[in-house]
């Protein structure tokens, strides 16, 4: 079992490193071009593998970690919704799976916020922030799904925002694992900085459409 655990951890770490590198290339590369699309796909699949392996590790004997499991859900939410956003430009895209993702994130977010105080009598700041962010974006998605016209018009912003969210998750993991920043700061600062960058890109994209 210990060998299997070690292999799972190696796979998780390797996929995380690949995700970080491929996401960096995708961000730098010209959007819509072959390099961007290819590196973006590598990022998507490596993050999926990273998240699934995190689920596995978090339930293995001696490595049980509800925290890691919750962070895995949060990270995969952004990667999945970012990838799915590419389909929103189609007129007749089936939104059933997208709605399921949103509802799963809402339930997970509520549990991330409420379970730590109930079980330990203490609030987990990181899980509370992640849970609240996940709930916010999920509710935003469900509202957007009711307006197909707006959904098609904003697919690019959805793709950009969510894939960057996944990139932030990869950066955060790198910062935390390597102890570049202390404690809660390492968990939350990459997201704060990333949010500013995302807002800038979204505004830039909107202005370019108007022009």
The pLDDT confidence band at residue 27, using thresholds 50, 70 and 90, is confident
Mean per-residue pLDDT for 27-47? Answer: 90
Query: Tokens at residue 174, please?
Result: 């790198």
Closest CA to 186 of 130, 123, 126, 127: 126
Mean per-residue pLDDT for 190-194? Answer: 87
Instruction: Please give the model's pTM, rounded to 2 decimal places.
Output: 0.88
- The domain containing residue 178 runs over which residues? 2-210
Residues 100-129 pLDDT 10s: 999 999 999 999 999 999 988 899 999 999
Which residues fall within 8 angstroms of residue 33, CB to CB, at 6 or more apart?
none
Looking at the 3D structure of the chain, how many domains does it have? 1
Closest CA to 84 of 75, 97, 72, 71: 97
pLDDT higher at 125 or 62: 125
The pLDDT confidence band at residue 64, using thresholds 50, 70 and 90, is confident
**Is the per-residue pLDDT at 206 higher than 70?**
no
Answer for the pair 175, 52: CB distance below 8 angstroms, yes or no: no
Rg (the chain; Cα; Å): 17
Quote the percentage of the chain above a pLDDT of 90. 50
**Is the per-residue pLDDT at 145 higher than 70?**
yes
For residues 22 and 38, what is the distance between their CA atoms, to the nearest angstrom? 9
The pLDDT confidence band at residue 211, using thresholds 50, 70 and 90, is very low
Q: Give Cα separations from 79 to 64, 83, 199, 200 (angstroms).
A: 24, 6, 18, 20
Find the angle CA(102)-CA(104)-CA(106) to the nearest 5 degrees: 70
């Amino acid at each position: 079992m210990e060998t299997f655990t070690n292999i799972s951890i190696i796979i998780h770490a390797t996929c995380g490193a690949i995700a970080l590198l491929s996401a960096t290339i995708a961000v730098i590369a010209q959007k819509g071009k072959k390099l961007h699309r290819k590196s973006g796909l590598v990022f998507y699949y490596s993050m999926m593998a990273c998240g699934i392996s995190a689920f596995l590790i978090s339930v293995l004997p001696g490595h049980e970690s509800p925290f890691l499991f919750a962070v895995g859900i949060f990270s995969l939410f952004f990667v999945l919704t970012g990838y799915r956003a590419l389909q929103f430009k189609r007129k007749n895209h089936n939104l059933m799976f997208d709605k399921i993702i949103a509802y799963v994130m809402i339930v997970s977010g509520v549990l991330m916020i409420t379970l730590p105080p109930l079980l330990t009598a203490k609030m987990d700041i990181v899980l509370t922030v992640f849970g609240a962010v996940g709930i916010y974006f999920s509710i935003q998605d469900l509202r957007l799904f009711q307006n197909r016209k707006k959904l098609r018009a904003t697919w690019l912003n959805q793709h950009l925002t969510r894939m960057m969210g996944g990139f932030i998750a990869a950066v955060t993991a790198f910062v935390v694992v390597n102890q570049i920043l202390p404690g809660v700061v390492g968990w939350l600062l990459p997201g704060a900085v990333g949010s500013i960058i995302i807002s800038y890109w979204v505004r830039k994209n909107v202005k370019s459409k108007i022009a």
